[in-house]
Chains A and B, each alone.
Chain A
Amino acid sequence: MKNINGKTVLTLGVIAFTLILAFILNGALDSYVRRILNLCAIYAIISLSLNLVNGFTGMFSLGQAGFMAIGAYAVAIFTVPAELRASGFYLEPMMPLLANIELPLIAALLLGGLLAALVAFVIGFPVLRLRGDYLAIATLGFSEIIRILFTNMQSVTNGALGIKNVPQLSNMFLIYLAAVITIALLHLLLTSSYGRALKAIREDEIVAEAMGINLLKHKLAAFVISAFFAGVGGGLYGALLGTVDPKNFIFTLTYNFVLIIVLGGLGSISGTVIASFIITIGMEWLRFFDEPLKLFGIEILIFRPGLRMVVFSVLLMVIVLFFQKGIMGQREISFDMLRRIPLRFGKRREDR
């Protein structure tokens, strides 16, 4: 029992340290670096939500961009100050019912998450009966439908013009708090009996069902929870950008998160978080690929906008071919694991 308490204290210590660090860095960093670090945390939230479905439950969903769009629009619609809305909605005025409702950011985030979860629940019933590739196609189609709906709901979403003047969120503390809460809740879920049931479904659906696990119920729960966190993450994303427009949520956005969870390890929370930082920072750092490059006075023709994505695609292929388990596989970083590292060195010295 003492051991568990020690670990709990240590865990709380790490959480407190992360949040204090985020709080301090928030004041110390310039806005560019801060923005990238914020994006890392937001990508971590969304990737974790995708990993819950793809990595832990063994389904293959590609609908994250759609759920993000729902969350982002909830934030955009309800947090823009009412007096600024009319200037944005100039093609068609905002629906009177919504035009005067203003919500604080946190309420809008939760609303976005809940709406995404609700949508996931409704589409989950028919879609989750599909397996493998079919589920991927259905969820991909869903995310495009959401985007096209939002493009055409002029009086609610301002259509293709998008919503501008969303109060920008750059508070690292708040974003990292959201990430820490997401990690904590998913950890608690996955280490519970429900988490074991989800992993059983991933391992072998037929056996899981024969062990008394209701497949539809558990898959639906994972899908809905995933949508909730994707909705919250999408809301944060919208608030970080300051503008929300349907083009932000093309299905290719989802591929970023697929890349992150494959790199980090399908079925690993810590791997996902690490990979979110690697990919997000890498995306920025590799920007020089998109710029024209002159070597010895000769322009290298392949250095032009888009090369960055080629590099990322190659990276994904390399991972799939040579590092199928990603950084962490299905393992997690834990205090036990960290404690074993010095032990391992000590042992080697004894062996001599």
Chain B
Amino acid sequence: MILRTENLTMRFGGVTAVDSLNLNVPEGGVFAIIGPNGAGKTTAFNMITGAYAPTGGRIFFEDKDITARRPDAITKAGIARTFQNIRLFKDLTVFENVITAKHLHLKSNLLQAVFRIPGISPYSAEERTFRRQTDELLEKLGLSDQRDAISSSLPYGRQRKLEIARALATEPKLLLLDEPAAGMNPQETEELARFIERVRNEFRLTILLIEHHMDLVMDISEYIYVMDFGVNIARGAPAEIQGDPKVISAYLGSGE
């Protein structure tokens, strides 16, 4: 299991946003959390990535307890994420956005970085490696033609791609995508599905995504968790989920 949660719970005052969530995500593959608005999906993500400290339960990443650790420590451990509403460094270029995410691999200290005398300080060599890796990553994901463009000037679909590229630059083992297809038309969604599969295969990582687009989820995920009102109401392969009466009633109402 690359990621495991035990009775993960988050209460905001009297509201229980996530109630005893038990995720078991094995290594490799694409997994999805689905559910109606307000089901607690993003809250679950925020707990896994350390943005919120859970009020109950534990989170294990590669069998290490990472519950309530700082977000940067969790990213260093190997979990990267994207955001529901794209959050790029808007004033920075495509290249700068991605290379910034390389910073966590920097070994040189501040003084070595400022007094970067070749031969004495290891910084210049590290910087060269970062630049090469960043260019390779942009090339691989088809973003190198806009390498020096300001990131906010990119079309929407490419901003999504860039956000994924930035997350990949941290070299994660587990990638969390928060509604990657939000605001996309069916054709863009289809392209995104292929893109996600390619990323999974080429970078050999595990992907956990939150999604509203049912077709995308059914298309690419191997295993699905369904949440409603903070509770995990169903889990299983796409085919099982599609026929589950509890899932149908959560999405369409129970008909009473």
Residues of A within 8 A of B (CB): 185, 188-189, 192-194, 196-197, 199-200, 203-204, 206-215, 221, 330
By beta carbon, the residue of chain B nearest A196 is B100
List A contacts of B123 (CB < 8 A): 192-193
Query: In whole angstroms, how far apart are the Cα atoms of A211 and B97 in the complex?
Result: 10
By beta carbon, the residue of chain A nearest B169 is A211
By beta carbon, the residue of chain B nearest A221 is B110
For chain B, give the interface size range: 35 or more
Residues of B within 8 A of A (CB): 49, 51, 70-73, 75-76, 80-81, 83, 87-92, 96, 99-104, 106, 108, 110, 113-116, 123, 126-127, 130, 166, 170
Are A192 and B72 within 8 A (Cβ)?
no
Smallest CB separation, B128 vs chain A (Å): 12
List A contacts of B116 (CB < 8 A): 188, 192
Query: In whole angstroms, how far apart are the Cα atoms of A210 and B104 in the complex?
Result: 11
Query: In whole angstroms, how far apart are the Cα atoms of A192 and B130 in the complex?
Result: 11
By beta carbon, the residue of chain A nearest B71 is A209
Are B110 and A194 within 8 A (Cβ)?
yes
Query: In whole angstroms, how far apart are the Cα atoms of A203 and B97 in the complex?
Result: 10
Which residue of B92, B102, B108 is within 8 Å of A199 (Cβ)?
A: B92
Smallest CB separation, A236 vs chain B (Å): 21
Query: In whole angstroms, how far apart are the Cα atoms of A318 and B71 in the complex?
Result: 40
List A contacts of B71 (CB < 8 A): 206, 209-210
Which residue of B75, B90, B92, B106 is within 8 Å of A211 (Cβ)?
A: B75
Are A207 and B89 within 8 A (Cβ)?
yes
Which residue of A206, A211, A215 is within 8 Å of B101 (Cβ)?
A: A211
Chain A: interface secondary structure? helix
Are B114 and A192 within 8 A (Cβ)?
yes
Are B104 and A212 within 8 A (Cβ)?
yes
Which residue of B73, B92, B130 is within 8 Å of A203 (Cβ)?
A: B92
Which residue of B51, B76, B127 is within 8 Å of A193 (Cβ)?
A: B127
Smallest CB separation, B154 vs chain A (Å): 15
Known: A188-B116, A193-B103, A197-B103. A214 touches B70 (CB 8 A): yes
Are A215 and B130 within 8 A (Cβ)?
no
List A contacts of B104 (CB < 8 A): 211-213
Are B113 and A210 within 8 A (Cβ)?
no
By beta carbon, the residue of chain A nearest B89 is A203
Are A211 and B130 within 8 A (Cβ)?
no
Smallest CB separation, B1 vs chain A (Å): 23
Top 6 nearest A-B pairs (CB, nearest first) are A212-B104, A212-B75, A203-B89, A192-B113, A209-B71, A211-B101
Smallest CB separation, B116 vs chain A (Å): 7
| Extra A-B contacts (10), CB below 8 Å, given A192-B123, A192-B127, A214-B72 | A188-B114, A192-B114, A193-B123, A200-B89, A200-B92, A204-B89, A209-B75, A211-B170, A212-B72, A212-B101
List B contacts of A221 (CB < 8 A): 110
Are A330 and B91 within 8 A (Cβ)?
yes
Query: In whole angstroms, how far apart are the Cα atoms of A197 and B51 in the complex?
Result: 19
Query: In whole angstroms, how far apart are the Cα atoms of A214 and B76 in the complex?
Result: 10
Q: What are 15 A-B contacts defined by CB distance under 8 Å?
A: A189-B113, A192-B116, A193-B99, A193-B103, A193-B127, A194-B114, A196-B100, A208-B100, A209-B75, A210-B75, A211-B72, A211-B80, A211-B166, A214-B70, A214-B73
Smallest CB separation, B85 vs chain A (Å): 11
List A contacts of B113 (CB < 8 A): 188-189, 192-194
List B contacts of A211 (CB < 8 A): 72, 75, 80, 100-101, 103-104, 166, 170
Query: In whole angstroms, how far apart are the Cα atoms of A207 and B169 in the complex?
Result: 13
